[in-house]
Amino acid sequence: MNNKNLIKSNPIALIPFAVFIIIYLGSGIFLQSKGVEMAFYQFPAPTAVFIGVITAFIILEGSTEEKFMTFINGCGEENIVIMCIIYLLAGAFSAVSSAMGGVESTVNLGLTLIPPQYVTAGVFLIACFISLATGTSCGTMAAITPIAVGLAQKAGLNLPLTMAAVVGGAMFGDNLSIISDTTIAATRTQGVEMRDKFRMNLIIALPPAIITFVLLLIFGKPVNPIRVAEYSYDIVKVLPYVFVLVMAILGMNVFWVLVSGMFISGVIGLTYGDLTFLSFGQEVYTGFLSMIDIFIVSMLTGGLAHMITKAGGLQFLLEKSQLRIKKAPKSVLQLW
């Protein structure tokens, strides 16, 4: 007999998850209304999840030992562990590549190759590439925004439009990146191949990106001529990003993609003197630390979800969904 059939529907089991959502979103919305910067980052998501976990221990049935083992089994579920390991590797690759000058060289290469009259559209393309290669929209914006502001001032560009180009490109790349935390979570939890997810998202995201690029070509022309000769780059330092993108699209296992990319960046950094063996290890650890929030959230959420599922919360949602699906044809017929 399927064990899932033994789980009774229990709406109360959803309360811990609701507590997590209310605390996290509620605090963010409240602080946003007060004008606090980075409002949704002020109350740490791991803390909000942990409060939900404590709530589950208090209100769900069973002994503390039983609930604790259920929680631990959820934290250690295969897909959760895989996600967390990939998070760490993605952070390490991004940190090492940035430390050896990869981001700077990539930005400067783009500014050198792109004609000055199309600099705003060029900034958009650069943001697309870097976020696609690093998997972080916020990191991309942090790296490119100072350069974009300087360009806007020198060339007489519309500053809000230039910033919009940076944000749009960063979001486009992050949406497609194979090492983005949200992409990793989506593919692993839904059992979807990374390559298939990339192809589908490309169909969705590419048309508006092309339209944006064309509009930037038209409306983003500089008032003053600018020189691009001052931007120095090294094509070798761009190679790790190209490697990661190509190998991921070709279907190489994401573990080996990130490990290989990290060590390629490390070797380049050691060769050029941007890194030492000691600093290489430190940057890897820094990359690990940069992903600690999403790591803890994923682990705790996995445990919480398993507790809710075993207590009947998921069964309650399934039954309600099935009931609505069964009623749907009748409601459609009534419209006639």
The percent helix, strand, coil of the chain (3-state, each to 5) is: 80, 0, 20
Q: Quick one: 106 and 192 in the same domain?
A: yes
Q: Quick one: 62 and 111 in the same domain?
A: no
The residue written with tokens 């760490």 in the block is 88
Q: Quick one: 263 and 121 in the same domain?
A: yes
Q: Quick one: 183 and 244 in the same domain?
A: yes
114 is a domain residue: yes
Furthest CA-CA distance within the chain: 75
Q: Quick one: 235 and 133 in the same domain?
A: yes
40 is a domain residue: yes
Above 60 in pLDDT, residue 329? no
Q: Quick one: 299 and 165 in the same domain?
A: no
Instruction: Please give the pLDDT value at position 241.
Output: 85
CA distance 23 to 44: 10
Task: Report the domain count for the chain.
Answer: 2
Q: Quick one: 57 and 117 in the same domain?
A: no
| Structural contact between residues 169 and 126, judged by C-beta atoms closer than 8 angstroms | yes
Q: Quick one: 47 and 171 in the same domain?
A: no
pLDDT band of 335, cuts 50, 70, 90: very low
Domain closes at, from 223, 245, 274: 274
CA distance 140 to 148: 12
Q: Quick one: 137 and 194 in the same domain?
A: yes
Instruction: Please give the pLDDT value at position 332.
Output: 41
Least confident of 90-94, 102-106, 252-256, 321-325: 321-325
96 is a domain residue: no
Which tens digit of pLDDT belongs to each residue from 263-304? 999 999 999 999 999 999 999 999 999 889 889 998 999 999
More confident residue, 163 or 320: 163
CA distance 229 to 320: 63
Q: Quick one: 137 and 70 in the same domain?
A: no
HSE (side-chain half, CA atoms, 13 Å) at 333? 5
Encoding tokens for residue 203?
Answer: 């169909």
234-239 average pLDDT score: 89
Q: Quick one: 210 and 141 in the same domain?
A: yes
Which tens digit of pLDDT belongs to each residue from 17-42? 999 999 999 999 999 988 888 888 88
Least confident of 170-174, 204-208, 211-215: 170-174
- Positive or negative, the Cα torsion across 215, 136, 268, 239? negative
285 is a domain residue: no
Domain extent at residue 170: 101-274
Instruction: Please give the pLDDT value at position 6.
Output: 66
Least confident of 15-24, 90-99, 318-327: 318-327
Mean pLDDT of the chain: 83
| Structural contact between residues 260 and 247, judged by C-beta atoms closer than 8 angstroms | yes
Q: State the CB neighbour count (10 A cutoff) for residue 154.
A: 14
Q: Quick one: 190 and 298 in the same domain?
A: no
Instruction: Please give the pLDDT value at position 153.
Output: 75
Global pTM value: 0.76
pLDDT band of 325, cuts 50, 70, 90: low
Which tens digit of pLDDT belongs to each residue from 1-18? 444 456 788 889 899 999
Which tens digit of pLDDT belongs to each residue from 134-176? 777 777 787 778 778 877 777 677 888 888 888 888 888 777 7
CA distance 131 to 141: 9
307 is a domain residue: yes
